[in-house]
Amino acid sequence: MATPIALAIAGSEASGGAGAQTDLKTFHELGVFGCTALTCIVSFDPNNNWGHRFVPVDPQVIADQIEAAASVHSHIDAVKIGMLGTPATIEVVSQALDTYKFPQVVLDPVLICKGQEPGAALDVDNALRAQVLPKASIVTPNLFETQVLSGRGEITSVEQLKDAAKAIYDQGVPVVVAKAGTLLGTGTALDVYYDGEQLEVLEVPAVGSERVSGAGCTLAAAITAQVAKGVAPLQAVRDAKQVVLSSIENRMHGNAPFSYVYQGGASATL
């Protein structure tokens, strides 16, 4: 069988804990050939509480990168969309999705990033919801993003998370993975999967309580890799949760007040 190919349309995060770097490592660990179109450059600021310095990539350059990847590889099996960050980026990515009609699009709807203009956040929310969400085959919002995209307000229980996942599904996304992680206080990392028929609560043990960078990116990238290989969505999400669990167990520590996922060895847990 030919090696599956996945494209990450995502931001660069220089220190290697999130974004396109995480996506590529996850694809590689899972036996998928990775390529990238960078949407922005994020550099944490050691002199400003590790805030995110954020520089968008010129929209034409984003279009060029997607064109290059899609032209070299005649069949990209799955695309992962991570941080887009500006309405202009969202517009150009939306156009590319129309042009290339990738068979599977996994959207990690990263809404805001520490350090971005708060005033820009609402424009990004609205543009993402209008232009990219309807083109996603699988969406993986965290608790905050689930609240925003579902319009359901604060979510404090598993039942509310299920309702919110259904509300996002009703906006036309075939598969919704609404992630509470550890935030509902269940002692587990809990996500709700909904595809219009199956409604599943997926849980793995929570590992410690320190903040870990890159868990969300790794989950969406691992789902992308698995669906690129032909794994069905629910199993792909189950597999991805194991990959995240392993990546957190093997986390790295640096000088920032959060640790970093490390995907090396995760495929052995599947």
Residue whose CB is less far from ligand PXL, 4 or 16:
16
* Listed ranges 12-20, 55-63, 130-138, 150-158: which one lies at the site for ligand PXL (CB under 6 A): 12-20
Closest distance between ligand PXL and the C-beta of residue 56, in Å?
11
Q: Kindly tell me which of 162 and 262 has the beta carbon lying closer to ligand PXL.
A: 262
As measured in angstroms, the least distance from the Cβ of 21 to ligand PXL is 8
Tell me how far the alpha carbon of residue 41 is from its chain's centroid.
Answer: 16
Element (H, E) at 35: strand 33-45
- Here the tokens at position 237 are 């999400």
Part of the chain binding ligand PXL (CB under 6 A), chosen from 13-21, 186-194, 203-211, 232-240: 13-21
d(CA 265, CA 114): 30
In 3D space, the residue among 253, 242, 180 whose CA is nearest the CA of residue 212 turns out to be: 253
Find the binder of ligand PXL among 110, 164, 178, 231 (CB under 6 A): 110
Binds ligand PXL by CB under 6 A, chosen from 37, 92, 113, 237: 113
d(C-alpha 19, C-alpha 254), whole Å: 17
Is residue 217 involved in binding ligand PXL (CB under 6 A)? yes
Query: Are 227 and 78 a contacting pair, CB within 8 Å?
Result: yes
Compare residues 97 and 217 and give the one whose CB is closer to ligand PXL.
217
User: Binding ligand PXL by CB under 6 A: which of 4, 16, 82, 181?
Assistant: 82
Q: Tell me the torsion sign for CA atoms 82, 88, 94, 100.
A: negative
| 106 lies in the binding site for ligand PXL (CB under 6 A) | no
What's the 3-state SS for 210-245? CCEECHHHHHHHHHHHHHHCCCCHHHHHHHHHHHHH
Q: Which residues bind ligand PXL (CB under 6 A)?
A: 10-11, 13, 18-19, 42, 52, 82-83, 110, 113, 216-217
